[in-house]
Amino acid sequence: MESYKDKYLDHLIRIKAVTQEYARIVKSRLNKLIQFLGERGMHRIEDVTREHLSKYQDMIMKSGTATKTKRDELLAVALFFRFLHDYEYLEENPALIIDPPKRIYRFPKDILGEQEIACLLKLPDQNDLLGTRDFCIMSLLYSSMMRTKEIFNLKLDDIDLRLKQILVRRTKNKRDRIVHIDGYTAFFIKKYLKNVRPWLLKNNKSDNLFISATGTDLTRNSFAAHFGQKYKPLIKEKFKKEVSPYVFRHSSATHWLDSGARKHKDILPYVQRQLGHESLESTAIYTHIAIEPLRQMFKSYHPRELTLKNLHKIPSPEDIISPLEKDKK
What secondary structure does DSSP assign to 296-315, as a single string?
Answer: HHHHHH-HHHHHHHT-SSPP
Q: Does 36 have pLDDT greater than 90? A: yes
Q: Does 171 have pLDDT greater than 60? A: no
How many other β-carbons are positioned within 10 Å of the β-carbon of residue 230? 15
Least confident of 5-19, 49-63, 208-222: 5-19
2-97 CATH, one of 1.10.150.130, 3.40.50.740, 3.40.50.720, 2.40.110.10: 1.10.150.130
**CA 42 to chain CA mean position, Å:** 38
User: Is residue 169 a contact partner of residue 153, using CB atoms and an 8 Å limit?
Assistant: yes
Cα(71)–Cα(74) distance, rounded to whole angstroms? 5
| Fold type of domain 114-246 | hpI Integrase; Chain A (1.10.443)
What is the pLDDT confidence band of residue 273, given thresholds at 50, 70 and 90?
low
Q: Does 59 have pLDDT greater than 50? A: yes
SS3 state of residue 86? helix
Q: Return the pLDDT at 83.
A: 93
Q: Return the pLDDT at 267.
A: 60
What is the pLDDT confidence band of residue 150, given thresholds at 50, 70 and 90?
confident
Half-sphere exposure of 301 (CA within 13 A, CB side): 6
Q: Does 193 have pLDDT greater than 90? A: yes
pTM, two decimal places: 0.57
Q: Does 106 have pLDDT greater than 70? A: no
Percent of the chain whose pLDDT exceeds 90: 37
Residue ranges, CATH 1.10.150.130, the chain:
2-97
User: Is residue 174 a contact partner of residue 16, using CB atoms and an 8 Å limit?
Assistant: yes
| Phi–psi pair at 178, nearest 5 degrees | -105, 130
Cα(1)–Cα(41) distance, rounded to whole angstroms? 13
Single out the residue of 119, 58, 98 nearest to residue 247, CA to CA.
119
What is the pLDDT confidence band of residue 142, given thresholds at 50, 70 and 90?
confident
Residue ranges, CATH 1.10.443.10, the chain:
114-246
User: Is residue 254 a contact partner of residue 289, using CB atoms and an 8 Å limit?
Assistant: yes
Average pLDDT, the chain: 79
